[in-house]
Amino acid sequence: MPTEMAQPFTVRSGESWRDPFPMYAGLRDHDPVHHVAEGDYWVLSRFAEVWAAARDTSAFSSAQGLTFTYGERERLGLREAAPMVMLDPPEHTEFRGLVSRGFTPRRVAGVEPAVRRFVAGRLDRVARVLARGPAAETDIVSELFKPLPSFVVAHYLGVPEADRARFDGWTEQIVAAGSHGDPLAASGAVAELLDYFTHLARRRRDEPGDDTVSALVAVYGDGDPLGLLRILGFAFTMVAGGNDTTTGLLGGACELLAAHPGQRALLAREPGLIPGAVEELLRLTCPVQGLARTATRDVRIAGTVIPAGRKVMLLYASANRDPREFGPDAERLDVTRRPGRILAFGHGAHHCLGAAAARLQARIALEELLIRFPDFTVDPGRGVFAPGHFVRRYRSLPFSAGRPA
């Protein structure tokens, strides 16, 4: 029997995301293979077990969805148009090979000038607000951290600028549906998203651009129903997974740096440390706190048997703070740490395709923020967390600066 924990496992959403980390520590120390009776799923919390499960696609399948809800794909309207993240090898391997051409280091580096211009323009807006006086503040999430990933995702998908605001509504509905464990609540948003990209894919047959949707349309050719389903699944993955996760990283990074002014000052003095610091910030913020797989057979982990067909939650955020992997100071921010293996982007076949793009956005945002506002502060106590069981992110976060640089 597992030892009773001081803070039992509960599904988090909204305000309860404020500090889930003591609960994670209790799971790691006392019940690393935890069974949730209500819902009948399992939770892995230690680094070694999460790392191994994420890698083993034969025992832990993504094809039944990535939440702890059974029948997830059917309820979301994705039974036919399976997103890439809900495919197993070999189908996943083949499709990932096609779309990864748009995420090569050269292609990602190519968007840097546009991203830097976008960030600079948004920070000009922030500076105008903060120039009103020493007590002035703004919501850094709505001003920068939410619009930035939406801009980047739209760029990769080739969405015309006039349509880009529609992403926010779809993303918000899809993520919010998870707050009540009810994917069906997002079915309308999913249907609108899929309808939009059906029309965009047809348009790209006649008007191709330098974007991933155009590249996929060229590969699959006209009239290929499976190809269209793959394109729709990819668009769903990008819109649903590429927006709020980067928002979570940026908000969490600012919270950590404001709470550790010495670390923030070090990065302001030595901006060459920022790319490495992004890895440490990813480790500790880990916007995707966890995702589920489905056991394809009975699996024994740490002496416990997980039955075939049961969902298994991989708690990435807990694993990223495991002292067994990162040492006794695993919970401490150290921007000079080089953590090596981290699970912020998952691992194995399903390692996040947009990892390089997320790192690019974080690096540029921090570089520009620290140039403009090296003494910035945020007020987490008045910050508001977004609903959703899997992504920990601020919906709003008050931001101020002692002095613009």
- Tally of domains in the chain: 1
- 385 within domain boundaries: no
Whether 361 and 115 have beta carbons less than 8 Å apart is answered as yes
CB atoms within 10 A of CB 223: 8
Whether 64 and 294 have beta carbons less than 8 Å apart is answered as yes
Sign of the dihedral through C-alpha 394, 400, 402, 403: positive
Taken as a whole, the chain contains a residue count of 405
- 384 within domain boundaries: no
> In this structure, what token pair is assigned to residue 78?
């994705």
Q: What is the CA radius of gyration of the chain?
A: 21
Contacts of 23 (CB under 8 A, 6+ apart): 5, 7, 8, 9, 10
Domain that holds residue 306: 14-379+390-399
- 79 within domain boundaries: yes
- 2 within domain boundaries: no
pTM score: 0.91
Task: Return the pLDDT at 76.
Answer: 67
**CATH number reported for the structural domain that contains residue 280 in this entry:** 1.10.630.10
Whether 292 and 313 have beta carbons less than 8 Å apart is answered as yes
- 262 within domain boundaries: yes
Distances (CA, A) of 352 to 43, 51, 143, 338, 347: 21, 14, 26, 20, 8
Sign of the dihedral through C-alpha 392, 362, 357, 114: positive
Pairing of strands 394-396, 384-385: antiparallel
Pairwise CA distance, residues 13 & 379, whole Å: 20
- 3 within domain boundaries: no
Q: How would you write the pLDDT of the chain (405 residues) with one tens digit per residue? A: 455 666 789 989 889 999 999 999 999 999 999 999 999 999 999 999 999 999 999 999 998 888 888 887 777 677 666 777 888 888 888 878 878 877 888 888 899 999 999 999 999 999 999 999 889 999 999 999 999 998 999 898 988 888 877 877 777 777 666 545 566 677 888 899 899 999 999 999 999 988 889 988 988 876 777 788 888 888 888 887 788 899 999 999 999 999 999 999 999 999 999 999 999 999 999 999 999 999 999 999 999 999 999 999 999 999 999 999 999 999 999 999 999 999 999 998 888 988 999 999 999 999 999 999 999 999 999 999 998 889 999 999 999 986 544
Sign of the dihedral through C-alpha 71, 66, 305, 321: negative
- 257 within domain boundaries: yes
- 208 within domain boundaries: yes
Looking at this protein, which amino acid is placed at residue 162? A
DSSP 144: I
